[in-house]
Structure formats: structure tokens, C-alpha cells
Amino acid sequence: MADVIGRLEEEALKRKNRLRELRGKRTHDEQLQIQENEGGSTIPKPIFRNYKNETEENCEETASYVGQAGAVEEEVGVQLEMMKTPIIIEDIDIANLAPRKPDWDLKRDVAKKLEKLERRTQKAIAELIRERLKAGQEHDIMQAIPTK
């Protein structure tokens, strides 16, 4: 345990020494810069990487943009003229104009099933009517036969 503590202290001392050396270098570099500035050296020229000075090339480019501005104005004028003429829509369908109910797709999907059920219902109704007619005829026959 004492070994570990001794090693940690040594490492801490090494770090402190390195920090002192770095501080010394920094202050030394700053002093050199101050001496150079006082010595009459010129200030370094800034470098603008995204900035273009106004030169003849740039002036020509801006002149071409001015020419293009006139073309844009003509295009806008043509479009304004086109907007003045009324647009006639020949195919107007009321079904497309009216909003649909939220469940229209469900009704469409269920329609086939409802057709089958409707056919079964009609057959069942017809069968019930036939049974009643048969029952009614049997009843009429029983009344027609005299019982003694």
C-alpha cells in the first residue's frame, strides 16, 4: 500500500514539473512576441479565405448578374400575363369536389360482403313466404274437406 502511495506522489510531482515547464514556455513565447511587436515588425496580414476582393473579375461577374436581372423581370412579366387569362376547367365532377365521409373506405370494403348477405336474406324471405303459402293451402284444404 505504501508502494502505491509513493508511486502516486512521484507521478503527481512529475505532473507539477511538466506544468511549470509549459507555463515557462508560454510566458517565454509571449515575451518574444511583445519584443517583436515593440521592435517595429508589421502586423501580420489577415487571410480571408471566403472573401473576394473587388477586382476586375468580380466586377465582370456582377455585371453579368445585372444582365440576368432584366431576364428575370421579363419572365415574371410573362407569368403575370398568363395569370390574367381565366383558367377554364371543363371536367368538373361533383363527386370529386364534395368531401367524403371518414368511413367511406370501410363501406367500400364491406359492400361485397353485404351483397352476399342481401342475396341470402332474399332467399330466406322467399322460402318463408312459400312455407306460409303451403301452410295456408293445407289449412284451406282441411276446411274444404267435410268431416263427419
pLDDT tens over the chain, length 148 residues: 667 778 889 999 999 999 999 998 888 888 877 776 666 556 777 777 777 666 656 666 666 666 666 778 888 888 888 888 777 766 666 766 777 888 888 888 899 999 999 999 999 999 999 998 888 887 766 666 666 5
- CB-neighbour burial class of residue 17 (10 A; exposed 0-12, middle 13-18, buried 19+): exposed
Going by C-alpha positions, the residue among 141, 121, 122 that lies closest to residue 133 is: 141
Does residue 114 form part of some domain?
yes
Structurally, the chain folds into a number of domains equal to 1
Residue-number span of the structural domain to which 143 is assigned: 102-147
Does residue 124 form part of some domain?
yes
In whole angstroms, what is the distance from residue 124 CA to residue 118 CA?
Answer: 10
Does residue 15 form part of some domain?
no
Alpha-carbon separation of residue 4 from 12, 14, 15, 18, 25 (angstroms): 12, 15, 17, 21, 32
Give me 148's grid cell: 263427419
pTM of the model: 0.28
Does residue 14 form part of some domain?
no
